[in-house]
């Protein structure tokens, strides 16, 4: 009889622990998800409130745009033309001659493409245009945080 009670109690404790464990892990998952969202929101707010961070990102982005433009100029020189379309394949081949010796694949282009630190998307434009970042001028008057080159 005593043995039976102990066994039953043990089973009860194990079942209880399992039930609690389930609730806990589910709860933890919800809390973690919530924390993640709050963290991301705070980080984005911080980035908006942190002009130095924005300026640093913009500086790196302008550097990328300069490199893209330099590659486009080189392509224009190679073709002896000042107008016309250019492709990412051509630009990447000019920027990384050592890495594309065995041919430029779409995967390689994706891997080597410069990345805007603020998540903007680059558009090469034609030879006669300047390359652009989708973030652009931020719609404010401060040129230091612009993802934009003017020459």
Residue numbers of the site for Zn ion (CB under 5 A)?
61, 116, 120, 133, 135, 147
The DSSP result for 33-86, as a single string, is HHHHHHHHHHHHHHHHH-HHHHHHHHHHHHHHHHHHHHHHHHHHHHHT-S-S--
Closer residue to Zn ion in complex, CB, 94/133: 133
Spatial CA neighbour of 85 closest among 113, 121, 124, 122: 124
Sign of the torsion formed by the C-alpha atoms of 46, 135, 132 and 150: negative
What's the min distance (Å) between Cβ of 126 and Zn ion?
20
What's the min distance (Å) between Cβ of 145 and Zn ion?
10
What's the min distance (Å) between Cβ of 54 and Zn ion?
10
Closer residue to Zn ion in complex, CB, 104/147: 147
What's the min distance (Å) between Cβ of 147 and Zn ion?
3
- Name every residue whose Cβ is closer than 8 Å to that of residue 127 and which is 6 or more positions away in sequence: 72, 75, 76, 81, 82, 83, 84, 85, 86
Spatial CA neighbour of 137 closest among 128, 122, 125, 149: 149
Closer residue to Zn ion in complex, CB, 33/119: 119
What's the min distance (Å) between Cβ of 133 and Zn ion?
3
Closer residue to Zn ion in complex, CB, 124/133: 133
Closer residue to Zn ion in complex, CB, 56/89: 56
């Amino acid at each position: 009889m005593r043995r039976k009670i102990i066994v039953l109690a043990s089973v009860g404790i194990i079942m209880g622990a399992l039930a609690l464990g389930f609730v806990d892990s589910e709860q933890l998952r919800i809390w973690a998800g919530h924390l993640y969202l709050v963290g991301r929101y705070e980080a984005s707010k911080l980035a908006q409130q942190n002009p130095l961070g924005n300026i640093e990102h913009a500086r790196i982005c302008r550097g990328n745009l300069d490199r893209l433009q330099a590659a486009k100029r080189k392509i224009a020189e190679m073709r002896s033309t000042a107008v016309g379309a250019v492709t990412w394949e051509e630009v990447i081949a000019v920027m990384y001659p050592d890495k594309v010796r065995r041919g430029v694949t779409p995967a390689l282009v994706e891997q080597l493409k410069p990345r805007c630190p603020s998540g903007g998307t680059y558009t090469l434009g034609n030879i006669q245009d300047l390359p652009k970042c989708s973030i652009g001028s931020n719609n404010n008057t401060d040129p230091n945080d612009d993802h934009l080159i003017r020459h």
